[in-house]
């Protein structure tokens, strides 16, 4: 045996598969016990200096992307590839094999056999038609033992295992594509502000988006018991200053734009307020950021305003007292509920006002062109598992030998699901004993 | 009658079912056979009603969601699936001997759900991340898988018991070793498919909520470890010809991993899935 074939044998062996799967399982446990992605200081405090250094050498703090863990995954992939190349041709041969070139001896040794002596001359045809009707592929040949009719079904189900194995490689490929061509980042955008970059999750390095995203509004809804019910952000995408897309996003309902996805992930409340004034005469509207208890002016409109007081429930402002003044009028102070418009016309001002606490929306931003591959892989895996476990390559032969009488030898075999095949086989036989007798 | 009463009753009916099946097995109480099955079917129906009612109640509270969103609800669903699966096996393989090894899991799960102080039974609203149909698909698929693995572990225990003490007249009544081995294997295959679907739906959900389909959080990692253990078992059987004792042990080891994925991670480790711990 030469070296090449030994290496080949090693990489195609199921022993290696069992070793690799065990090794991945066992080492994976480490990362579920030792917290991942913390600072060196954290590990020193938690485990002591020596252990922390040891961890660092073995990449334990980031073990799922460490060289040795990736090597194990690489080994699994190599194993899958070599094993498939090694075995697939044989499996495929089984699918495409000429089923009519079997000797009588072979047929007699099949798992399921049945002999009918003195059969009527049409019986073989009856059987053949029954099989044809049931979707079996039929081939026929004259041999020295008689006429062989070979019927088979679901031959391609032998590829099920290979689909499962390939699906794992497709998922890995997706993960690799995501790693090299995608990114994960996050950004906090205060209401009314915009950003054209986000910050990489691991390094905090700024990443340019190539367009601008503005947060027009952020909202939280609460259940009666105070638990958050929904976070919503209205996002506007701007290309070269032009609005191209407006979308309300929620957790589980992200915004997708140019291959990037923006997920609602967190928020931050400020001690600032947003005051929106709408003129009832010219319909112009403007939103102002008003820090608590500071005066704001609407330039050119002769309006000054501010928030003089606010009531909060935990960190959430539930009512605010707004103060508005123009040079012609007495100052107005009214209590307002968040986001509810109040007309000021009774007080002699042609405006409606609405006020809310100011928030910043926390967005998770991801670009992952590999997800498509991962999903295709997942789909293939489920299809492959179904085929591998529940479908079987079934074969039935009818050997008709005509001497003094017509004798039929019916033989069958399946590579899996013996019970199911047995049922089909006996049903087939029953159908002819009925017609024959 | 409210759902917690119905589910409370279920705990006791499953205890009674367990006793009936144990009696059939230990005392050869053949007259009880039909009664055990009938009683268990009724117990399952009571539990089904309990789960359905809990669903309705959540809508009456104005926070309607499928009863599959916290530790308590998932344990209840786990018990439900074990019984449903067991009844199918009883019907398909025409033996009631497995009952004494499978039904107790459902009782223990219900007893844990009802009496443990670790878990809250209240119907609570869902935080935004949990409001997803993928969550329902994820929980359902995972727990069908887990229930199958529980039954497989029961079968594995049964195999080992019979194998160790061959000539015992009590154990003679168990199905032949080959049959137990075959049912164990089929149950594990069934569980493997559902666990695969569970991991996949979990990944899709994570991707739709956070933009990462896989983040090596402890729960994810443990479900992968469990998946690998069963993958290993299947390969050892198909390609190395393992069967019998070794597969029975692997069915037990696999289920220990399931328990850890399901229970241990919530209470011993921390991570995204910690919602289960309240
Ligand atoms: C987590 C990874 C893996 C999964 C989920 C997986 C899944 C499967 C499944 C479902 C079967 C079908 C069994 C059947 O019904 O015939 C199978 C068979 C098989 N697998 Fe894997 N597999 C994995 C890794 C591997 C690796 C790394 C190898 C490398 C040698 C391997 C070699 C085989 C072989 C030789 C068979 C038997 C094929 C046959 O029946 O002809 N598997 N695998």
Tell me, what's the pLDDT at B166? 63
The response to whether residue A358 sits with its C-beta less than 6 Å from ligand 1 reads: no
Contact A113, A70 (CB under 8 A): no
User: Nearest residue of B to residue A14 by CA position?
Assistant: B239
Residue B77 clears pLDDT 80, i.e. is over it: yes
CA distance B195 to B202: 10
Q: Which of B125, B211, B232 sits opposite A227 (nearest CB)?
A: B125
Closest to B93 in 3D by CA, of B160, B158, B10: B158
Average pLDDT (A218-237) is 86
Contact B82, B147 (CB under 8 A): yes
The residue to mutate among A161, A169, A415, A418, having the most atoms of ligand 1 within 8 angstroms of its beta carbon, is A161
Place of tokens 């979707």: A135
Q: Does B132 touch chain A (CB under 8 A)?
A: yes
Write the pLDDT tens digit of every residue in A136-169. Answer: 998 888 888 888 888 999 988 999 999 999 999 9
CA of A382 to the centre of ligand 1 (A): 14
pTM of the model: 0.88
CA distance A41 to A57: 15
DSSP A253: B
Write the pLDDT tens digit of every residue in A372-388. Answer: 999 999 999 999 999 99
Q: Does B224 touch chain A (CB under 8 A)?
A: yes
Write the pLDDT tens digit of every residue in B242-259. Answer: 778 899 999 999 999 999
User: Nearest residue of A to residue B215 by CA position?
Assistant: A64
Chain B residues within an 8 Å CB radius of A387: none
Chain B residues within an 8 Å CB radius of A184: 211-212
Tell me, what's the pLDDT at B148? 96
The residue to mutate among A12, A16, A17, A85, having the most atoms of ligand 1 within 8 angstroms of its beta carbon, is A17
Query: Which of A177-186, A290-299, A300-309 is modeled with the greatest confidence?
Result: A177-186
Tell me, what's the pLDDT at A235? 92
The response to whether residue B240 sits with its C-beta less than 6 Å from ligand 1 reads: no
Ligand 1 atom at shortest distance from the alpha carbon of A12: 30
Q: Which of B209, B231, B265 sits opposite A21 (nearest CB)?
A: B231
The topology under which CATH files domain A97-154+392-436 is: TATA-Binding Protein (3.30.310)
Residue A436 clears pLDDT 60, i.e. is over it: no
Contact A163, A377 (CB under 8 A): no
CA of B189 to the centre of ligand 1 (A): 13
Write the pLDDT tens digit of every residue in A253-278. Answer: 899 999 899 999 888 888 889 999 88
Mean residue pLDDT of chain A comes to 88
Mean residue pLDDT of chain B comes to 86
Closest to B269 in 3D by CA, of B222, B227, B235, B226: B222
Every domain range in chain A assigned CATH 3.30.310.10: 97-154+392-436
Long-range contacts of A275-278, Cβ-Cβ distance < 8 Å, separation of 24 or more: A275/A305, A275/A307, A275/A322, A275/A353, A275/A354, A275/A355, A276/A353, A276/A354, A276/A355, A277/A303, A277/A305, A277/A351, A277/A352, A277/A353, A278/A341, A278/A351, A278/A352, A278/A353
Distance between B219 CA and the closest CA of chain A, angstroms: 8
Question: At A199, is the pLDDT very low, low, confident or very high (cuts 50, 70, 90)?
Answer: very high
Which of B182, B201, B211, B242 to probe by mutation at the A interface, max A CB count within 10 Å?
B211
- Classified as helix, coil or strand, A358 is strand
Closest to B14 in 3D by CA, of B68, B89, B81, B88: B81
CA distance B232 to A214: 50
**Residue ranges per domain, chain B?**
1-126, 132-278
CA distance A36 to A43: 10
Distance between B7 CA and the closest CA of chain A, angstroms: 25
Q: Is A32's CB within 8 Å of B210's CB?
A: no
Question: What is the distance of C-alpha B87 from the center of its chain?
Answer: 13
Residue B275 clears pLDDT 70, i.e. is over it: no
Closest to A154 in 3D by CA, of A423, A415, A397, A426: A415
Taking domain B1-126, whether its CATH number is 3.15.10 is answered by: no
Average pLDDT (A223-244) is 87
**What are the residues facing A268 on neighbouring strands?**
A360
Structure-block tokens of residue A54: 């040891």
Q: What percent of chain A has pLDDT over 90?
A: 33
Question: At B274, is the pLDDT very low, low, confident or very high (cuts 50, 70, 90)?
Answer: very low
Tell me, what's the pLDDT at B245? 86
Ligand 1 atom at shortest distance from the alpha carbon of A168: 2
Q: Is A33's CB within 8 Å of B211's CB?
A: no
What are the helix (H) ranges across A97-188?
104-108, 123-133, 160-181
Distance between A112 CA and the closest CA of chain B, angstroms: 20
Write the pLDDT tens digit of every residue in A61-83. Answer: 888 989 999 999 999 999 999 99
Which of A86, A223, A252 to probe by mutation at the B interface, max B CB count within 10 Å?
A252
Structure-block tokens of residue A207: 């990443």
Residue B276 clears pLDDT 50, i.e. is over it: no
Write the pLDDT tens digit of every residue in B116-164. Answer: 777 777 777 777 777 788 888 999 999 999 999 999 999 999 999 888 8
Q: Which of B124, B189, B212 sits opposite A389 (nearest CB)?
A: B189
Q: Could you report the predicted ipTM of this complex, rounded to two decimals?
A: 0.90
């Amino acid at each position: 045996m030469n070296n090449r074939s030994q290496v080949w044998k090693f990489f195609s062996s199921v022993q290696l598969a069992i070793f690799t799967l065990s090794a991945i399982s066992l080492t994976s446990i480490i990362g579920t016990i030792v917290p991942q992605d913390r600072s060196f200081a954290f590990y020193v405090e938690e485990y002591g200096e020596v252990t922390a250094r040891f961890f660092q050498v073995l990449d334990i703090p980031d073990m799922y992307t460490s060289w040795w863990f990736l090597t194990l995954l690489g080994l699994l992939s190599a194993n899958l590839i070599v094993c498939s190349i090694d075995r697939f041709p044989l499996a495929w041969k089984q699918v495409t094999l000429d089923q009519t070139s079997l000797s009588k001896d072979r047929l007699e040794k099949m798992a399921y056999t049945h002999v009918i002596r003195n059969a009527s001359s049409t019986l073989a045809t009856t059987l053949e038609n029954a099989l044809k009707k049931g979707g079996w592929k039929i081939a026929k040949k004259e041999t020295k033992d008689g006429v062989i009719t070979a019927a088979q079904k679901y031959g391609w189900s032998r590829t099920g295992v290979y689909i499962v194995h390939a699906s794992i490689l497709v998922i890995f490929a997706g993960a690799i594509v995501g790693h090299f061509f995608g990114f994960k980042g996050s950004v906090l955008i205060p209401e009314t502000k915009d950003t054209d970059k986000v910050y990489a999750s691991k390094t905090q390095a700024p990443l340019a988006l190539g367009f601008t995203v503005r947060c027009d509004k952020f909202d939280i809804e609460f259940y009666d018991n105070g638990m958050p019910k929904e976070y919503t952000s209205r996002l506007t995408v701007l290309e070269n200053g032009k609005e191209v897309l407006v979308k309300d996003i929620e957790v589980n309902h992200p915004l997708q734009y140019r291959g990037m996805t923006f997920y609602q992930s967190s928020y931050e409340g400020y001690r600032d307020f947003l005051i929106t004034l709408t003129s009832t005469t010219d319909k112009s509207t403007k939103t102002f950021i008003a820090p608590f208890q500071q005066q704001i002016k609407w330039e050119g409109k002769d309006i000054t305003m501010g928030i003089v007081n606010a009531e909060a429930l935990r960190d959430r402002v539930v009512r605010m007292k707004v103060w508005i003044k123009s040079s012609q009028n007495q100052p107005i102070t009214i209590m307002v509920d968040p986001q509810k418009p109040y007309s000021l016309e009774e007080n002699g001002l042609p405006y409606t006002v609405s006020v809310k606490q100011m928030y910043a929306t926390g967005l998770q931003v991801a670009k992952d062109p590999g997800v498509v591959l991962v999903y295709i892989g997942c789909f293939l895996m489920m299809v492959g598992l179904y085929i591998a476990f529940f479908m079987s390559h079934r074969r039935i032969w009818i050997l008709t030998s005509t001497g003094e009488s017509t004798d039929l030898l019916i033989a069958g075999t399946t590579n899996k699901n013996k019970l199911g095949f047995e049922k089909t086989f006996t049903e087939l036989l029953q159908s002819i004993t009925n017609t024959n007798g | 009658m409210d759902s917690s009463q119905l589910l409370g009753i279920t705990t006791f009916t499953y205890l009674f079912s367990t006793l009936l099946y144990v009696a059939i097995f230990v005392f050869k109480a053949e007259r009880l056979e039909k009664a055990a099955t009938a009683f268990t079917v009724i117990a399952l129906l009571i539990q089904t009603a309990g789960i359905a009612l809990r669903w309705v109640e959540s809508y009456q509270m104005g926070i309607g969601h499928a009863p599959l969103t916290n530790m308590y609800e998932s344990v209840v669903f786990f018990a439900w699936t074990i019984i449903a699966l067991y009844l199918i096996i009883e019907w398909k393989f025409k033996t009631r001997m497995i009952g004494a090894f499978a039904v107790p899991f459902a009782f223990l799960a219900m007893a844990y759900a009802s009496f443990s102080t670790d878990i809250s039974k209240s119907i609570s609203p869902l935080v935004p991340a949990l409001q997803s149909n993928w969550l329902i698909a994820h929980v359902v698929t995972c727990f069908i898988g887990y229930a199958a693995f529980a039954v497989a572990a029961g079968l594995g225990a049964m195999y080992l018991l019979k194998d160790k003490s061959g000539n015992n007249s009590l154990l003679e009544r168990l199905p032949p070793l080959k049959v137990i081995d075959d049912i164990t294997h089929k149950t594990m295959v069934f569980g493997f498919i559902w666990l695969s679907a569970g991991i996949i739906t979990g990944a899709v959900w994570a991707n739709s909520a956070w933009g990462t389909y896989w983040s090596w959080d402890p729960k994810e990692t443990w479900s992968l470890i469990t998946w690998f253990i069963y993958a290993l078992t299947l390969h050892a059987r198909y390609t190395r010809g393992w069967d019998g004792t070794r597969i029975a042990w692997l069915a037990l080891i696999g289920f220990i991993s399931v328990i850890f994925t399901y229970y241990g991670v919530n209470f011993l480790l921390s991570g995204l899935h910690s919602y289960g711990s309240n």
